[in-house]
């Protein structure tokens, strides 16, 4: 089953690849590795904002991380000129969680992205990962995730 078919079977679709908001590029390819810039939490209603440990629950944070994962895949699709079959595997994610100083469930939040990538890609979605706290994130979003992907 293709990645697009798997997404469809899960009732998911990829957004358009978000444009950079500052002086950087959305992705850089080096050899077989594709480094995708941080994707912020947003959905069809706009930015998903808030602070974990205060205004955002762990469950809502995980849902925001899932949206980041979809944006990461959208950037991979753009880098591969629309051909997601060129994606070999997810290598590494770094997840940033906008959270209070006493919040310690960053891994549970970023699991939203990790779980989605495994649902969609199977073993090719398993990856190394960091999940860290941030005192704030751009535009007040709840989650930002960047990634490294192996492509053909």
pLDDT computed for residue 41 by the predictor: 98
Per-residue pLDDT for 1 more than 90? no
Name every residue whose Cβ is closer than 8 Å to that of residue 62 and which is 6 or more positions away in sequence.
Answer: 108, 109, 110, 111, 112, 115
Rounded CA separation 12/95 (Å):
21
Report CA torsion sign: 5, 152, 126, 95: negative
To the nearest whole percent, how much of the chain has pLDDT over 70? 100
In terms of C-beta density within 10 A (0-12 exposed, 13-18 middle, 19 or more buried), how is residue 73 classed?
buried
| Backbone φ and ψ of 100, nearest 5° | -70, 160
- Which sequence spans correspond to the domains of the chain? 3-14+25-151
pLDDT digits (tens, 9 = 90+) for 70-101: 999 999 999 999 999 999 999 999 999 999 99
Task: Let me know the angle formed at the C-alpha of 71 by 16 and 123, rounded to the nearest 5 degrees.
Answer: 125
Mean pLDDT of the chain: 97
pLDDT digits (tens, 9 = 90+) for 2-30: 999 999 999 999 999 988 889 999 999 99
Q: How many CB atoms lie within 10 A of CB 6?
A: 15
Q: Would you identify the CATH topology of the domain 3-14+25-151?
A: 60s Ribosomal Protein L30; Chain: A; (3.30.1330)
Is the CB of residue 72 less than 8 Å from the CB of residue 34? no
């Amino acid at each position: 089953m293709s990645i697009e078919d798997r997404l469809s079977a899960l009732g998911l679709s990829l957004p358009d690849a978000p444009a950079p908001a500052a002086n950087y590029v959305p992705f850089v390819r080096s050899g077989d590795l594709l480094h995708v810039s941080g994707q912020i939490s947003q959905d069809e209603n706009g930015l998903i904002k808030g602070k974990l440990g205060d205004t955002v629950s762990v469950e809502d944070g995980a849902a925001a991380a899932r949206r980041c994962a979809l944006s990461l895949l959208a950037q991979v699709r753009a880098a591969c000129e629309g051909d997601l079959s060129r994606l070999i595997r997810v290598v590494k994610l770094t997840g940033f969680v906008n959270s209070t100083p006493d919040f310690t469930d960053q891994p549970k939040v970023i699991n939203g992205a990790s779980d989605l990538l495994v649902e969609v890609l199977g073993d090719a979605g398993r990856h190394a990962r960091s999940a860290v706290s941030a005192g704030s994130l751009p535009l007040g979003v709840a989650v930002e995730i960047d990634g490294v992907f192996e492509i053909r």
